[in-house]
Amino acid sequence: MSVQGSFATVAREGGRAALVTAVRGAHLGGRLLVHADGTREGGLGDPALDAEAVAHAEALMWAERSELHGDLFVDVTFPPPRLLIFGAVEYASHLARFARATGWRPYVIDPRSQFATAARFPDAVEVVVAWPQEAVDHLGGLDRATYVAVLTHDPKIDDEVLRIALDGDPAYIGAMGSKRAQAARRERLVEASVEEPELRRISAPIGLDIGAVSAEEIALAIMAEAIAVRRGREGGRLTNDHQGKARR
């Protein structure tokens, strides 16, 4: 199969990869396919150019955008982002629905089988009845396109999820809880040897500040924050940005 054919297969199967094509210069028409696991197909005809292509490919396939870099065009394909929702609670039901509506892949995870049922979470791609580490292993780990939302309010589950997430490289880690609960959780994590730079990776309280009150509004605020992180935005009001530009 050609490199282009392999890329088309990855795209058709919902995988992640980057196809780098030389669009100008001495190696015009050369193609290099870089898969998410680092394996490669093809080549551009020059080891230095291949190395440059791989660097661009590995960055852009996770940034989820195609770009032209000098003589190289990097075309990427990627699946919808995963949202791992820990806690089979009411918020999780609404959050899974919003995730589905925006094209994401939500998974609901909870070891409590009486709550974690497919009937309660019809919008979830899968409801995983397992403790956090087992669930993460089952789902293939936490990659840079995985978003983690911790909603359980149970320290036995919350703390384990956060330690697992901080040991990995997910795009986003958010945790629900009052100021008192956040402070207590922070103390427990510090006692477990989690250091300050790692703690700052946790978005807590979870969600954008939109004044949410109901469970559905809170789920919407969480989904909005995840989308903002994915797009590299802070989540402020667009009107403020436009007024600022007008004043300048």
Domains of the chain in start order, with CATH, are 3-77 (no CATH), 82-230 (3.40.50.720)
pTM for this predicted structure: 0.89
For the chain, how many helices (H) and strands (E)?
Answer: 9, 11
pLDDT tens figures, 59-108: 999 999 999 999 999 999 999 999 999 999 999 999 999 999 999 999 99
Q: Which residues contact 237 (CB under 8 A, 6 or more apart)?
A: none
Q: Report the alpha-carbon distance of residue 161 to residue 243 in Å, rounded.
A: 41
Residue 247 has pLDDT above 90, yes or no: no
pLDDT at residue number 72: 97
Residues 134/161, Cβ–Cβ less than 8 Å? no
Q: Report the alpha-carbon distance of residue 73 to residue 227 in Å, rounded.
A: 26
pLDDT tens figures, 136-148: 999 999 999 999 9
| % of the chain at pLDDT higher than 70 | 97
Cα 16 versus chain centre, distance = 13
Residue 246 has pLDDT above 50, yes or no: no
Quote the tokens at residue 185.
Answer: 């959780």
> For the CA atoms of 223, 226, 231, 237, what is the dihedral angle to 10 degrees?
60
